[in-house]
């Protein structure tokens, strides 16, 4: 798993880590049941505080993207990914609304905005096909 963190980003490091792990799952680079590095190991490998990795793993566990086994360690949830819930839809709308609003303010058309979303979706899912 290749993690690329932007230490200059306004996005917290734990959020970048969560986002990259979820993108890895979505793209198929991380498969259900696949182990992730331990908190200590990942923190050491990418040069960040282990509490940052622990926070990211805790959030991923709460959202059911990963499981923590006493014997196997941290693994991608082998039982499948969390479904589309009302809470998820509310969270997604809350995150997309300011992005759409800024796009409108900058003069982007509805079609241009939808095209960008489609491109991002394809970028993630095309990586999945390349890994099969």
pLDDT of 112-123, one tens digit each?
Answer: 999 999 999 999
Helix (H/G/I), strand (E/B), else coil: 30: coil
Reading the block at residue 108, the tokens are 């982007």
User: What Rg value do the Cα atoms of the chain yield, rounded?
Assistant: 16
d(CA 75, CA 68): 6
Q: Where are the domains positioned within the chain?
A: 13-76, 86-127
Q: Cα 69 to chain center, whole Å? A: 21
pLDDT value of position 127: 62
* Mean per-residue pLDDT, 74-103: 95
Alpha helices in the chain (DSSP H): 13-27, 39-46, 50-62, 86-105, 110-131
Residues written for the chain? 132
**Does the structure show a pLDDT above 60 at 44?**
yes
pLDDT of 103-114, one tens digit each?
Answer: 999 999 999 999
pLDDT of 5-34, one tens digit each?
Answer: 999 999 999 999 999 999 999 999 999 999
Nearest partner of 39 among 15, 68, 65, judged by Cα: 68
The set of residues, in sequence order, having a beta carbon less than 8 Å from that of 45 and lying 6+ positions away, is 3, 37
pLDDT of 58-79, one tens digit each?
Answer: 999 999 999 988 888 999 999 9
**Does the structure show a pLDDT above 70 at 51?**
yes
Fold of 13-76: Arc Repressor Mutant, subunit A (1.10.10)
């Amino acid at each position: 798993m290749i993690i690329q963190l932007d230490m200059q980003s306004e996005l917290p490091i734990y959020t970048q880590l969560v986002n990259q792990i979820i993108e890895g799952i979505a793209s198929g680079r991380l498969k259900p049941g696949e182990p992730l590095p331990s908190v200590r190991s990942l923190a050491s490998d990418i040069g960040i505080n282990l509490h940052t990795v622990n926070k990211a793993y805790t959030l991923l566990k709460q959202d059911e993207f990963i499981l923590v086994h006493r014997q196997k360690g941290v693994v991608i949830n082998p039982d499948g990914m969390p479904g589309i819930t009302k809470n998820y839809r509310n969270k997604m709308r809350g995150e997309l609304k300011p992005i759409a609003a800024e796009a409108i303010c900058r003069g982007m058309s509805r079609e241009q905005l939808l095209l960008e979303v489609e491109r991002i979706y394809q970028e993630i899912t095309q990586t999945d096909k390349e890994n099969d």
